[in-house]
A = this chain, B = another copy of it.
Amino acid sequence: MKNLPAPAVVDFGRLRVACSSCSLRELCLPAGLEAREMEKIDRLVNQRRRVRKGEHLYRAGAPLAALYAIRSGFMKSCVLYEDGREQVAGFHMMGDLLGMDAIGGGRHMSDTVALEDCEVCEIPFPVLQRLSREVPSLQHQLHRVMSREIVRDYGVMLLLGSMKAEERLAAFLLNLSQRFSARGYSPTEFNLRMTRQEIGSYLGLKLETVSRSFSAFQEQKLIKVRQRHVCILDLAGLRAMLGPPR
């Protein structure tokens, strides 16, 4: 008699998913909570969900059911305009909390899509509201995360409103570097999970301009690029791209 089919069909929805034992807890929503409080919020996540590359986590217009925390993988969210115009509003990686754009109107205002196979924790919004009333520091954390999203958006506005093409790309690479670093990965060598097109959309540039800027950085020995593999050779030099030329 053989065992059950195998790990490939593990039912993630049934796995025990407790924030208190999650390796990402210091990056994610429960960051900074004490052990005693952590226990209380272990019922926050009711299940894990797998999202395969190319699949939507949610679509604009869908009613808000839950917020999502990324466990693993890489995603993008896109905002849409009435006329069909679309723009990448952000790239997300493990520890990021998604879906906050839906709290205001009860419906999601963006499309969020997996750029590679992902695993997310589903946090039913009503449960989050209730628990954040009972656990003040959870309430505070939620406010912090939303506020940080607002601040991040201000940074993107600054980027889009007052930087030139190469400055934008430098800022983008430095941001990725910093986020990988905060998650224990190399700050100087990583694989991009998005296309030039998607980078361009995020930065308000055309893909050709992104490509040219990559080449220019390589020319200046700031980075080494081959397709999606990026190696930052001169972090200080990249940072210097941001200041001087106003």
What is the distance, in angstroms, from A46's C-beta to the closest C-beta of chain B?
20
Is A82 located at the chain interface by the 8 A CB criterion? yes
Residue of B nearest to A109 (CB): B151
Residue of B nearest to A201 (CB): B161
Residues in B with CB closer than 8 Å to A104 are 143-148, 150-151
Residues in B with CB closer than 8 Å to A105 are 147-148, 151
* Copies of this subunit: 2
Is A166 located at the chain interface by the 8 A CB criterion? no
Residues in B with CB closer than 8 Å to A139 are 129, 132-133, 139
B154 and A204 within 8 A (CB) = no
A85 and B147 within 8 A (CB) = no
A162 and B83 within 8 A (CB) = no
Contact residues of A between 82 and 110, Cβ < 8 Å to B: 82-83, 85, 87, 89, 100-105, 109-110
Give the residue of B82, B151, B204 whose beta carbon is less than 8 angstroms from that of A162: B204
The chain A residues found within 8 Å of chain B, CB to CB, are 79, 81-83, 85, 87, 89, 100-105, 109-110, 129, 132-133, 136, 139-140, 142-151, 153-158, 160-162, 201-204, 242-244, 246
List, sorted by A's number, 19 A–B pairs whose CB atoms are closer than 8 Å. Answer: A79-B157, A79-B158, A81-B242, A82-B242, A101-B154, A102-B147, A103-B147, A104-B147, A105-B147, A109-B151, A129-B136, A129-B139, A146-B147, A150-B150, A153-B153, A153-B154, A161-B201, A161-B203, A161-B204
